[in-house]
Chain A
Amino acid sequence: MHGVLQEIKNICSILVHKKLVYNRSDEVGIVLFGTKETCNELAKELGGYKHVTVAHEIKVVDEGTSQALQNLPAGSVPGKVLDAIVVGLDMMIRKIGNTKGKRRLCLITSAQHSLRDPPEGTKEDQVDTIADQMKRHDIKMECIVFREPGVHHGAVMEENDRLLYQFRNRSVAKVVQVDSPTSLLGALKTRNVLPVTVFRGDLEVSSNFRIKVWVYKKTAEEKFPTLKKYSDKAPPSDKFASHEVKVDYEYKSIVEPDKVVPPDQRIKGYRYGPQVVPISSAEWEAVKFKPEKGVKLLGFTDRSSILRHHFMKDVCLFIPEPGNTKATLAVSAIARAMHQMNKVAIGRCVWRQGQGNVAFGVLTPNISSVNNVQDSFYFNVLPFAEDIREFQFRSFSSLPSSSQPTEEQQEAADNLVKMLDLAPPGREYTKSHAGYTVLFQRFYSYLDLKAKQPDANVPPLERCLKRITEPDPDVIDQQTPLIQNLGKAFELKENPKKKKGRTQDRLAYTAGDQSKSAAEPSVEKDGILAVLYPPTENIGEIRDLNPVQDFEAMLAKRSSSTWVQKAFEEMQKYTTALLENSREGDNYHKALECFAALRKACIIEQEPDEFNQFLTKTYERLKNGDVASFFQLLSSKNISLISKEEAPDSDATEEMARSFYLKQEAASQ
């Protein structure tokens, strides 16, 4: 468990942070088990219950709660799951008394250590007793069992799992098995939504046959919190200032821009060709489409006549009316028949009286694999004829041969699709689509940080976030040659004719420097940072790959005169190193280029002494060494001192420049 403590801390922190934002009066307690110390009420009163520590008593969430999560100690003793459950339950029962509210226990464990035998009865009996207690006090439990992939499942684990599933069978608990830190993040519900029915009533198969159903939402998009606009107008002394901003809309006539038209003098208009047709709301109310409430089945059709990409919205779930055995049987029979025959049902739903339009969609069977869960239907909204846009696209077979893959390329693609498999038998990567939590977490931890330091910067991306935005390194590593093959098989080229737009920059970057970006934080962010905080040191380097270009880039910076000086220094250093490390003239060509570049730059910058001194010094030092022949090369290319004619500041005459190598040679002889 120690490996994922960080993730556990994260997920629990989000839970607390969210409560601090949305549910200020919720209460949270934290119990650790498997710790070295023992600290809980039951141990004090009854003894036993060793190695269970109450890290935080159940109380209204505050700073302290998130503080308590910050320093989770790594325990050293095998954790006893049942003990922890009992301690948690006990805390909760003591706390609640007669108060109302929803109560839940969240258990995060690896459940791999043997449990002590209870003083009397079996472990199963103990579980039953605990489950009864939970039921009596209406407490639900969520068990998140984390196991690294590949962990051997021994007898102990089997037993623990069985005990936990026994809680589920007693319908007090939900058990989720996770095998990666990312899915761990998705496993804990940080927001508890009270399920509310969308519709309760009849699923009308025909006018004389109805099945009683309840309809719930199956998926619903959790939105990023919307922040309010801030007003700084209130005086700082005003402690009760709301700082809110009211947005006010005024409707003014185009003819008289100063006159505000009161709401009762406004009328809605819809476009009809070039003209606008006014329709008063009363008029509209009288004639508009008013479907009757009810859910009607139109009939059944083959699954293949429904296209997956036509699903329009979030999904609903039709369950038979709870407690109604016959409805359950009817739904079960139809769902299973649909499943066997590969059919779906088409339905028309008006959830509420007064709904403006009908929801027209498809019912698909959901055959339950768990014994105590009923069969049900999923409902997806389908588009109407008006909602489908009939755009035509060029058929792939009619594309020019330059856009058709060759056999070899097709094979590379085939292999990629085959091997980059996220669902190999037995294990499915990113099983639960991870948590959006991961993305929220960034906001909430920033929120928390900002509450403490108002001028804090956005924190860098965390490790766990990378796991969902980028391919799983495990998968990639296994298939490295394959991926390289794909890169080799296809040639991608930038279109030189197109102007570089924003997208283009991004495309170019991703196409080129991809491998590096994995190590760096978001590119886009770098861009922003670069604008805000101009870089000080980051390009001040001449690299081996393209020294002349680097040098020129440094010069081109010109943000301050120090850059030029620095460029010269770097170039001199680099060139010297190049010559000194040269073996049998292999670096000569490069060094020559560097000399030429430096000389040119010194002329442009009117710094002839810089070059002249460098040349003289280098020559003096190396003329008798291995690289003496290099100077002959320089001489042949007319790279000599910068003379007065070229740069007025120079001390050297043209004559000196011409005879530089000769004179020196003569002197040395």
Chain B
Amino acid sequence: MDLDPEGIFRDDSDEDDDNVQEREANKEMVVYLVDASPKMFTPAFFQADEKQETHFHTIVNCITQSMKTQIIGRSYDEVAICFFNTKAKKNLQDLAGVYVYNVGDRDPLDRPTAKLIKDFSCIEDSFMDNIGSRYGITAGSRENTLYNALWVAQALLRKGSVKTISKRILIFTNEDNPFGAITGAVKTDMIRTTVQRAKDAQDLGLSIELLPLSRPDEEFNMSLFYVDLIGLDGDEITEYLPSAGEKLEDMTDQLRKRIMKKRRVKTLSFAITNDVCIEVNTYALVRPTTPGTITWLDSLSNIPLKTERSFICNDTGALLQDPQMRFQMYNDTVVKFSVRELSEVKRVSSHHLRLLGFKPLDCLKDYHNLRPSTFIYPSDEHIFGSTRVFVALHSSMLRLGRFALAFYGNPTRPQLVALVAQEELTSSSGQVESPGMHMIYLPYSDDIRYPEEVHLTSDDAPRATDEQIKKASNLLKRIDLKDFSVSHFANPGLQRHYGILEALALGEDEMPDIKDETLPDEKGLSRPGVVKAIDEFKASVYGENYDQEEAEAASAKASRGDAAKKRKAITDAASLKSAAYDWAELADNGKLKDMTVVELKSYLTAHDLPVSGKKEALISRILTHLGK
């Protein structure tokens, strides 16, 4: 709990406050407060199809999906699910009408588990029997279930500090006027206490959000009560409803994506000139995502295994401690190095980053790339004034269209880098591109190859005519991807992996069908305009009979190319040769080891087996094939 929410005891004289970056929460705790009153179970009609769905079903579905995404993306975040307006009660405070849903030996507010997701997804079947639904706030009873629910949620979120954890309460309901059933002083009193409770919670740093569900016959009316509860005013009210609707949609179909915490990779010193040296932090903004670490299990007991590494001397078989010497064969002699000597050889620069100069952006070619880039952002943590220098350089580089060439003295691979200034780009949903510089690792001349020069001929290479280029331009215009952005394409392999994992963990029978977004849009390509553009281009480059030639080439391929013919000839020769021996008998008498490698290989070739390896490997392969 935050002991000092208003910042009363904060040191006002702390001037650095401006320099300290906003602290970001690195964990999230959410309590889903789900209204379970009978109103939620009345069928709500959807316009398009005739399918009837209750709001309760929609919400269960939404929360399940959201948890499925969360367990992969942010599995350390914690959730609790809490129903209100229930018949049964289950909560630590023993308040009526509130049921905290949980499974197994999990804490009520804890990381989601496969069992939780699985059981929760089919809660509807047993909900009425086990938990039950009723109207909570009725005339005549002094109960206030909404108040109770908020209290329970707040109590659940008591653990952890709001400084590092973002805490949220999400209320799902389709009742815009929870106190509609009562009147008079009781009503005003109840509204007052409930709003006060919500305000107390907000003062403690908990955020309360509402996901209202509108019934088809009437729009959810925020102003009846909930405006006061979440504390909205002015324009926010009109905007809240549509954005809440989007939020609900977002929760249901979110991309399964591992969310990384913002964490700096390294602090670097960046020497701009001999006497101006600033401090920058590096961040990894773009890195390939892997399916996650593999834990080895014992297949019988499913208990995790631990790996032990041991070093064994190849000559004597003795067990070694981690050897500190390395060696390299050089001119047939062994040259030994200590680890320290090796790292010293690689250390060539005293600086982390040393500016060499600037170049126009068009000097950075498309093939000047080796690895994902690294993002750099200035920091005043150790050297005051770094940010100022960086900001000045950044804007100069942007304005003049230059990138900086620098030497990055990284001990593992010292290399040249290009620093490209990135302007801040924002959209309605926030920052799209962060302001700073991208460090692009440049290849050394040894790393660049010239494959285009491999197949050189003395003649000039054919070049397209203007007519052909015009046809190509037409084609380009036809097959245009509008608003292309890399963020529209999910990794099909990874999504499939997550899908399989989820299916196995939740014991689902069917493997999920993941859509591969990276496949071309066949439907779009078969539009007449596109087909025409393609045909025209084909005709202008390939002449009239492209398809025919293609077909011929394909059939020629089918009837075996030259290489295939050659391979066939070799196999035939080998089988002829190998037929000269009685292999079974040779094997029985242990004579195989007396034969030459060429002879052994003839058997392997004839039987379409791999011919690689040493003689022993060949023999054992033959024996395996003979079934001995």
Contact call B307/A410, Cβ cutoff below 8 A: no
- CB within 8 Å for A308 and B463 given contacts A334-B472, A495-B380: no
Tell me, in angstroms, the Cα distance from A648 to B435 when the chains sit together: 69
Contact call A374/B461, Cβ cutoff below 8 A: yes
- Note all chain B residues with C-beta closer than 8 A to A233: 313, 315-316, 318, 320
- Note all chain A residues with C-beta closer than 8 A to B377: 393
Residues 332-355 of chain B, each 1 if its beta carbon lies under 8 Å from chain A, else 0: 111111001110111111111011
Residues from 579 to 596 in B contacting A, C-beta threshold 8 Å: none
In the complex, which residue of chain B has the Cβ closest to the Cβ of A499?
B382
Residues from 367 to 386 in A contacting B, C-beta threshold 8 Å: 368, 371-376, 378, 380, 382-386
Contact call A243/B357, Cβ cutoff below 8 A: no
Whole-angstrom distance between the Cβ of A579 and the nearest chain B Cβ: 36
Tell me, in angstroms, the Cα distance from A195 to B476 when the chains sit together: 31
Residues from 242 to 284 in A contacting B, C-beta threshold 8 Å: 242-255, 257, 261, 265-280, 284
Whole-angstrom distance between the Cβ of A299 and the nearest chain B Cβ: 4
Contact call A522/B347, Cβ cutoff below 8 A: yes
- Note all chain B residues with C-beta closer than 8 A to A483: 273-274
- Note all chain B residues with C-beta closer than 8 A to A17: 330
Whole-angstrom distance between the Cβ of A556 and the nearest chain B Cβ: 26
In the complex, which residue of chain A has the Cβ closest to the Cβ of B16?
A497
Contact call B444/A434, Cβ cutoff below 8 A: yes
Contact call A403/B19, Cβ cutoff below 8 A: yes
| B458 interface contact, C-beta 8 A | yes
- Partner of B480 from A299, A384, A504 at Cβ < 8 Å: A299
- Partner of A277 from B480, B485, B504 at Cβ < 8 Å: B504
Tell me, in angstroms, the Cα distance from A244 to B336 when the chains sit together: 12
Tell me, in angstroms, the Cα distance from A328 to B542 when the chains sit together: 11
Tell me, in angstroms, the Cα distance from A210 to B551 when the chains sit together: 12
Contact call A254/B304, Cβ cutoff below 8 A: yes
Contact call B18/A402, Cβ cutoff below 8 A: yes
Tell me, in angstroms, the Cα distance from A254 to B296 when the chains sit together: 11
Whole-angstrom distance between the Cβ of B557 and the nearest chain A Cβ: 11
Contact call B297/A174, Cβ cutoff below 8 A: no
- Partner of B451 from A216, A393, A493 at Cβ < 8 Å: A216
- CB within 8 Å for A439 and B452 given contacts A189-B446, A410-B392, A492-B386: no
Contact call B463/A375, Cβ cutoff below 8 A: yes
- CB within 8 Å for A265 and B300 given contacts A238-B315, A421-B357: yes
Contact call B522/A451, Cβ cutoff below 8 A: no
- Note all chain B residues with C-beta closer than 8 A to A246: 311-314
Whole-angstrom distance between the Cβ of B614 and the nearest chain A Cβ: 15
- CB within 8 Å for A388 and B286 given contacts A400-B18, A405-B392, A493-B385: yes
- CB within 8 Å for A372 and B306 given contacts A510-B271, A515-B274: no
Contact call B538/A209, Cβ cutoff below 8 A: yes
Range of interface residues on chain B? Answer: 35 or more
- Partner of A492 from B297, B349, B384 at Cβ < 8 Å: B384
Contact call A315/B369, Cβ cutoff below 8 A: yes
Residues from 284 to 306 in A contacting B, C-beta threshold 8 Å: 284, 287-289, 291, 296-302, 305-306
Residues from 107 to 161 in A contacting B, C-beta threshold 8 Å: none
| A565 interface contact, C-beta 8 A | no
Question: Looking at the complex, which of A97-105, A336-344, A541-549 is the stretch in contact with chain B?
Answer: A336-344
- Note all chain B residues with C-beta closer than 8 A to A312: 286, 288, 371-372
Tell me, in angstroms, the Cα distance from A17 to B326 when the chains sit together: 18
- CB within 8 Å for A371 and B494 given contacts A254-B303, A299-B479: no
- Majority SS at the chain A contact face: mixed
Tell me, in angstroms, the Cα distance from A230 to B320 when the chains sit together: 10
Residues 8-26 of chain B, each 1 if its beta carbon lies under 8 Å from chain A, else 0: 0000000010110110100
Of the listed residues B274, B312, B351, the one surrounded by the most CB atoms of chain A closer than 10 A to its CB is B274
| A95 interface contact, C-beta 8 A | no
- Note all chain A residues with C-beta closer than 8 A to B297: 266-269, 276, 278
Contact call B286/A422, Cβ cutoff below 8 A: no
| A573 interface contact, C-beta 8 A | no
| B166 interface contact, C-beta 8 A | no
Tell me, in angstroms, the Cα distance from A578 to B173 when the chains sit together: 89
Whole-angstrom distance between the Cβ of A223 and the nearest chain B Cβ: 8
- Partner of A186 from B16, B359, B444 at Cβ < 8 Å: B444
Contact call A399/B391, Cβ cutoff below 8 A: yes
- Note all chain A residues with C-beta closer than 8 A to B341: 446, 458
- CB within 8 Å for A446 and B345 given contacts A266-B297, A511-B383: yes
Contact call B358/A421, Cβ cutoff below 8 A: yes
Contact call A308/B438, Cβ cutoff below 8 A: yes
Contact call A228/B320, Cβ cutoff below 8 A: no
- Partner of A252 from B308, B363, B479 at Cβ < 8 Å: B308
- Partner of B357 from A222, A308, A475 at Cβ < 8 Å: A475
Contact call A313/B370, Cβ cutoff below 8 A: yes
Tell me, in angstroms, the Cα distance from A247 to B352 when the chains sit together: 34
- Note all chain A residues with C-beta closer than 8 A to B525: 206-207
Contact call B19/A400, Cβ cutoff below 8 A: yes
Tell me, in angstroms, the Cα distance from A320 to B400 when the chains sit together: 37
Residues from 378 to 409 in B contacting A, C-beta threshold 8 Å: 380-389, 391-397, 399-400, 402, 404-405, 407, 409
5 contacts between A and B (CB under 8 A): A272-B75, A314-B370, A388-B286, A414-B400, A422-B359
Q: A193-B449, A250-B310, A510-B271 are in contact. List 15 more A-B contacts (CB 8 A).
A: A205-B475, A219-B367, A252-B306, A261-B305, A266-B299, A274-B111, A302-B484, A307-B433, A332-B464, A388-B286, A403-B391, A405-B395, A417-B402, A435-B444, A506-B350
Nearest first, the 9 closest Cβ-Cβ pairs linking A and B are: A216-B451, A333-B464, A186-B445, A436-B444, A357-B493, A227-B326, A337-B472, A309-B438, A413-B392
